[in-house]
Structure 1
Amino acid sequence: MNELECIRTFVKVVEAGSFTEAARQTGTVKSVITKRINQLEEHLELQLLLRSTRRLTVTDGGADFYQRSLHLLAELDSAKAAVSSVEWGLTGNFRVSCISSFNSAYLADDLCEFQQEHPDLKIELQQNDHFCDPVQEGYDVCLQAPGGTTSILEKVDILPLRRLIVATPDYLEKHGIPQQANELSAHRFAHNNHIDPDCVIRFMAQDHPQEVTISPDILTNTIWMLRAAVLKGEHMAMMPAFFIENELQSEQLVPVLPHLKVQSSQLSAYYRRSSFVPMKVRIFVNFLQRKYGQHPSWEKRILAKHPNLMLALRPSNHP
């Protein structure tokens, strides 16, 4: 019996909520997971889990052992990290989840670069637009906009997701160019109701919020649909600047109300809260923060072409 391996398996089963899901996340057959838990219970002479056909329940003793195991594994991972250095590189598996828009625009290349710096690291990237719990879903890091969270998750902001309202020149010629925020309610919109379910556009005007309710013709939870709808020339939409940089530079899309700042969000890294964050997580998060910062390169390129967006793309703490 490999006691440490059995303990890690037990922690994974508790967090995954089932033997089947733990097997899927670890790439192990279910029978091996079951065997390890049985061996651990026999070794401890303690029932850790109550099994039934419908659900898995952690016993009181199992809950206590789970908390102690988390501390033990964190200490062990910290000790391993302490004797590893960036000079030697990172090793092991590294599972990352990211929202589709940033994945396609930047993160896929970022992870290739990161893996080149650490060639012994085995990277797995999955694309998810729903809020992912890295503990429940078996990821080391989840890159996503802020959403549901729990007390066991750490959130670190990576970069701003500053948004712009855009339309094609043909749309604006046909429907007119809004001069004030309240004029937007009369326009046709494609809208991401996953990000903003109340269909309200919020502006920061001289640090005082202003809200405009819109009545979209197209509702979607995918940014790809927003861009397609806008480029057809029949709708406006609100999208993050990084996703439409090329269309802005080619003037396929034109900023609407460039003198106003749309309320922005953040792309954040979520990972398990611990006193001892694994070195691969810390190094990766620092890698992304150094690369992008609070005024990312695409914003600088957009501003070089559209200096009238200075207010719309300024950092929130800018005077």
Structure 2
Amino acid sequence: MDKLDLMQAFIAVAQQGSFTSAAEKLGASTQLISKYVSQLESELKVRLLHRTTRSVTVTEAGLAYLERAQQILSDIDALEGSIKEQGDEPKGRLRISAPMSFSTLHLGKPLADFQQQYEAVTIDLQLNDRKVDIVEEGFDLAIRIGQLESSSLIARKISPIHLMMCASPEYLAKHGEPQSLEDLQGHRYLHYSYRNEDLPALVSTKNKGLILNKQKGSIVANNGEVLTKAAVAGAGIVLQPTFIVGPYIAQGKLKPILTQYKQDPLGLYAVYPHRKYLSAKVRSFIDHLQSFFGDRPYWDDF
């Protein structure tokens, strides 16, 4: 039997002065309430109530137990009320893991807007391009880019992410502009080391789709912004999200190539451990990001 059930039964009998009245208050049978009190006395090895055919009175030990038990149940009610209140209103520390380049370029404004709207939330943002273990490392959610692998985590899409292959006009003038995927052979390219299935370094045709090309890269880095700046400097061909390369294309520093080959967009996702008891701070933050970036993010307007 649950100890709290035993305590509640005893408190009700002590307050009502009757097993019958206590049973009515708790919506249980008189027999069950009597069983609970007897079980509690057996566990404590002390008599808590004097029972006669006409009345029920509390013993001295029962009075001491009653005072402490009422306080315990009151504390539990207060604790549950406090936790439920936190679930209803965004508050407390919100710990987020997010990729480096995307965050430095595009996350500052939505973070500031969210903080102004929910002043009771403290944001703890950790930037890292590796996939952190959200549960093990104590994050409320992670922002991730790519085609997500199946896992026990819950993912909610925030916005599409388009990739674009490009190079500097100077590089293309010197080495020639590829007109087909086959023309990529022999070119220098800048390889994103965390690619896996998320950000393929180069693509090649197979059947009706596009797959990874295992060609070796001339520069390998785990940061897309660095690779993009290397491409601007003429180091080679880069395949990166438009949220990085878009401004350079608009300025004429990079030129899109092989635009006839269309890839399905990747996704910007919010990933979190639980669906059933999602806290208000996490739910509100994800809603805010979806509203801020939307189905056509501003960085694609270049």
Q: TM-score range by the shorter chain?
A: 0.5 to 0.7
* Compared CA separation, residues 140 and 173, structure 1 to 2 (3 A): same
Q: Is the 8 A contact 1:202 1:262 kept in 2?
A: no
Give the Å deviation of 1:274: 3.6
Alignment-mate amino acid for residue 179 of structure 2: Q
User: Hey, what's the Cα distance between the residues in 1 that align with 2:187 and 2:117?
Assistant: 48
| Deviations 1:179-205, CA, capped at 9 Å, x for gaps | 112211221101112114896633799
Aligned equivalent of 1:264: 265
Alignment-mate amino acid for residue 185 of structure 2: S
* Compared CA separation, residues 97 and 77, structure 1 to 2 (3 A): farther
Counterpart mapping for 1:172-187 below 5 A: 172-187=172-187
Q: Higher mean Cα deviation, 181-190 or 98-107? A: 181-190
* Compared CA separation, residues 295 and 154, structure 1 to 2 (3 A): same
Aligned length: 220
| Deviations 1:253-307, CA, capped at 9 Å, x for gaps | 11011222235321211112141210111111111112222221111x12xxxxx
User: Hey, what's the Cα distance between the residues in 2 that align with 1:154 and 1:128?
Assistant: 20
Give the Å deviation of 1:172: 0.7
User: Hey, what's the Cα distance between the residues in 2 that align with 1:143 and 1:212?
Assistant: 24
Q: Is the 8 A contact 1:168 1:254 kept in 2?
A: yes
* Compared CA separation, residues 137 and 76, structure 1 to 2 (3 A): farther
Q: Is the 8 A contact 1:179 1:257 kept in 2?
A: yes
> What stretches of structure 1 move > 3 A for 4+ residues in a row?
75-78, 81-84, 146-150, 196-200, 202-205
Q: TM-score, normalised by structure 1?
A: 0.63
Counterpart mapping for 1:1-319 below 5 A: 79-81=84-86, 83-84=88-89, 90-146=90-146, 150-151=151-152, 153-196=153-196, 201-202=202-203, 208-211=208-211, 213=213, 214-299=215-300, 301-302=301-302
Q: Is the 8 A contact 1:145 1:268 kept in 2?
A: yes
Alignment-mate amino acid for residue 80 of structure 1: E
Give the Å deviation of 1:98: 0.7
Give the Å deviation of 1:80: 2.3
Alignment-mate amino acid for residue 175 of structure 2: H
Alignment-mate amino acid for residue 242 of structure 1: F
Give the Å deviation of 1:104: 0.7
User: Hey, what's the Cα distance between the residues in 2 that align with 1:212 and 1:136?
Assistant: 31
Alignment-mate amino acid for residue 271 of structure 2: Y
CA RMSD of aligned residues (A): 2.6
* Compared CA separation, residues 289 and 83, structure 1 to 2 (3 A): closer
Any stretches of 5+ residues in structure 2 without a counterpart? 1-79
Alignment-mate amino acid for residue 282 of structure 2: V
Q: TM-score, normalised by structure 2?
A: 0.66
Q: Is the 8 A contact 2:110 2:292 kept in 1?
A: no
User: Hey, what's the Cα distance between the residues in 2 that align with 1:163 and 1:179?
Assistant: 18
* Compared CA separation, residues 249 and 199, structure 1 to 2 (3 A): closer
Structure showing greater Rg: 2
Any stretches of 5+ residues in structure 1 without a counterpart? 1-74, 85-89, 303-319
Q: Is the 8 A contact 1:160 1:267 kept in 2?
A: yes
Alignment-mate amino acid for residue 93 of structure 2: N
User: Hey, what's the Cα distance between the residues in 2 that align with 1:196 and 1:106?
Assistant: 23
Q: Is the 8 A contact 1:164 1:262 kept in 2?
A: no
Identity across aligned pairs (percent)?
28
Q: Is the 8 A contact 1:203 1:260 kept in 2?
A: no
Q: Is the 8 A contact 2:195 2:201 kept in 1?
A: no
Aligned-partner SS, 2:202: strand
Q: Is the 8 A contact 2:96 2:125 kept in 1?
A: yes
User: Hey, what's the Cα distance between the residues in 2 that align with 1:283 and 1:190?
Assistant: 37
User: Hey, what's the Cα distance between the residues in 2 that align with 1:236 and 1:77?
Assistant: 55
| Deviations 1:72-123, CA, capped at 9 Å, x for gaps | xxx8787325654xxxxx3211111110011011112211110011112111
Aligned equivalent of 2:28: none
